[in-house]
Structure 1
């Protein structure tokens, strides 16, 4: 090997596994799509301030949006395996754009509620499809890095879209929603034209084959996956505490909503700053270690809220559980891809996404009941305990597994 070749090899190793060009088209479209994602940020305000709905009706509309998202996760994954990734993704995103545009002109409570549910369904249907495309086109050793990049794009997109939405909302919600619809259409067409179909041949693999039938997979992989999804649901409940229990705990401690905003902004800043370098490091390990440590940090950071007494200590808790989130998110998506055969990536990524959507639907009621019946110390102590149980669950499900 020449000196130039050796130098090139060292640079390639330092940069991490090479990702295909189609991945970068998908990544760019995801980033732009999230930059224009305004509905989730302002849905409840749109219902109450622009349409004159009550707080309870806004809660109902938001819940229906979440229910639609849960159904969309499963439906999108199934269709991706049956109809193909490109067709399903294009259909889901065009339907999402249509629903978002219709939301700006929906008349009456019933139409508003149904349209919000449709937008949630179509919008979330694309999530498992994107994850399946990444799992299909990227090698096992590069998946954690690829999902880290994707997660980074989602987070920076959400952060910027929230700021843009605040400015554009002053000019009316119609412009806001039509703008999101237009961005979604552009991204849908870009991905459809630039990203090839990645679904493995279903005839060669068999649509109804068990995960254990693919070469290198164990017969117990289906049971492992079910257990993995159950543990992920528990982790999802913990993550929801950030937006349900944490702001109330801080305000009861004498801090303001502005203080909560400042503290929670650390989460986004840390993800943007650390997710990419963390992704390079995580590629060196199997999934069990990062998921176990990440879940312990998530539960431990939330548990520390029980003894937080100042803005600085609340900020410290956010730093701890955010590091856990950085370890968890890309590793979990890559672990799902490693547990199942290629032709089934869509449906299994759909069930994984469903666990998060179900947690988002259940957590507000559970958290509300816990706040009414438990003192804050007990609530956050229970969060730490749940984190420890989930960490043990991940370890037991995935121990001994490494990327081939």
Structure 2
């Protein structure tokens, strides 16, 4: 009975107090990731099922990433201009349509073009989803909200990856169609259950200045955070690109790699919620610095693994803990750095850092591994993590402990919603004092 009571209290402290609309968005995210069959198997589909070369599969993957990079900016602007809801609906319907079309596409040019469009619409959901969470969840609860959303992504993706191989035995077209159907179902959930959360009052009529896309890039503190994010994203990219190659060169089998890398998703599912409860009331800059070191040197220790699958598993566990600490904490910081009327643009530029890393990371990692060896590659990852940690600590010292305060005293943390649309989705109770997040 005591264990049951503690478990119930943990669930209440983790999930309680969040608005109903957040949970519908969470369900939409989970369903979407449960049906995310195509992306992990796209290269395998092109090479083993369609008979295209590995080089062509790499080109298609790059075009998919290019589409994601372009949509980061476009969707961010649209999220602020036309609203979160229409942008998210258009992105999901476009993803569903072109995913299905990709399953029927033939010819190298056609497949490449459609893959670009799938990447474009698939990534266009991110700025809108992040902006909606920032709109409807109070500042003190955002770490929890982003953590729960991240948990849903990994839970759904892990389960879908596990069953996608079985589904593929009945034909790859089934994967494409099921992915399209699940994404369309998410659009239905959004259409029925999520109202528009974009503030009605123009920025020019509030205390906030109007912010265009150029203003986002001129925001030096925010762009410093984006730069540090890019640095760590380049490191994280090695987990699915150079890590399996290096493990293969060391004599580790593909089966062992699958088990080792599968530990990443398993640990996220098991540890995300308890670690988030531990992180909530701690210094954000300290958490980001610690997470950067875990990520950087988790990959860095790979240089010592040799042919031991167990040691590789240990390194994966280390950088996974860093990932668990990093993602929700950073997303909460990005939300507070974003002026209310420019949240979409800010989230889009932030998302661009991950899209650029998907371009640059595999290429840079491959060159380092081939020309300088694994020691140089993994050592560079450790250096990147150390630089990022120092950067986050420096940003925290420059701006003090108050969350969302820029140099010069301009407060960008968002007060309680005052517009009709925002009020409709804001939670009624005030956040508990013990849930207040400390600043970066």
TM over 0.5: yes
Measured on the aligned residues, the alpha-carbon RMSD in Å equals 2.3
Residue deviations 1:289-344, cap 9 Å, x none? Answer: 11100001111111111112312211111111111110001111111001121121
Q: How does 1:1-400 map to 2 (within 5 A)?
A: 14-15=13-14, 18-204=17-203, 210=209, 222-309=219-306, 310-399=308-397, 400=400
TM-score (norm 2): 0.84
Go from structure 1 to structure 2 and tell me whether the alpha carbon gap of 1:341 and 1:249 turns closer, same or farther (over 3 Å shift). Answer: same
Go from structure 1 to structure 2 and tell me whether the alpha carbon gap of 1:11 and 1:272 turns closer, same or farther (over 3 Å shift). Answer: closer
What is the CA distance between 1:223 and its match in structure 2?
Answer: 1.2
* Comparing 303-312 and 201-210, the one that deviates more: 201-210
Give SS of 2:129's match: helix
- Hey, what's the Cα distance between the residues in 1 that align with 2:209 and 2:393? 23
* Comparing 382-391 and 394-403, the one that deviates more: 394-403
Go from structure 1 to structure 2 and tell me whether the alpha carbon gap of 1:373 and 1:220 turns closer, same or farther (over 3 Å shift). Answer: closer
Residue deviations 1:187-241, cap 9 Å, x none? Answer: 11111210111111251456995589xxxxxx99921101110110001000011
What is the CA distance between 1:179 and its match in structure 2?
Answer: 1.2
- Hey, what's the Cα distance between the residues in 2 that align with 1:274 and 1:221? 37
* Comparing 185-194 and 198-207, the one that deviates more: 198-207
Contact kept, 8 Å, 1:80 with 1:88, in 2: the verdict is: yes
Contact kept, 8 Å, 1:17 with 1:141, in 2: the verdict is: no
Question: Which residue does the alignment assign to 1:4?
Answer: none
Go from structure 1 to structure 2 and tell me whether the alpha carbon gap of 1:35 and 1:220 turns closer, same or farther (over 3 Å shift). Answer: closer
Unaligned runs of 5+ in 1: 1-9, 213-218
Greater helix proportion: 1
- Hey, what's the Cα distance between the residues in 2 that align with 1:60 and 1:220? 29
Question: Which residue does the alignment assign to 2:420?
Answer: none
Go from structure 1 to structure 2 and tell me whether the alpha carbon gap of 1:35 and 1:16 turns closer, same or farther (over 3 Å shift). Answer: closer
Go from structure 1 to structure 2 and tell me whether the alpha carbon gap of 1:20 and 1:260 turns closer, same or farther (over 3 Å shift). Answer: same
- Hey, what's the Cα distance between the residues in 1 that align with 2:69 and 2:18? 30
TM-score (norm 1): 0.92
Contact kept, 8 Å, 2:72 with 2:127, in 1: the verdict is: yes
Go from structure 1 to structure 2 and tell me whether the alpha carbon gap of 1:375 and 1:163 turns closer, same or farther (over 3 Å shift). Answer: same
- Hey, what's the Cα distance between the residues in 1 that align with 2:61 and 2:218? 35
Go from structure 1 to structure 2 and tell me whether the alpha carbon gap of 1:59 and 1:393 turns closer, same or farther (over 3 Å shift). Answer: same
What is the CA distance between 1:49 and its match in structure 2?
Answer: 2.5
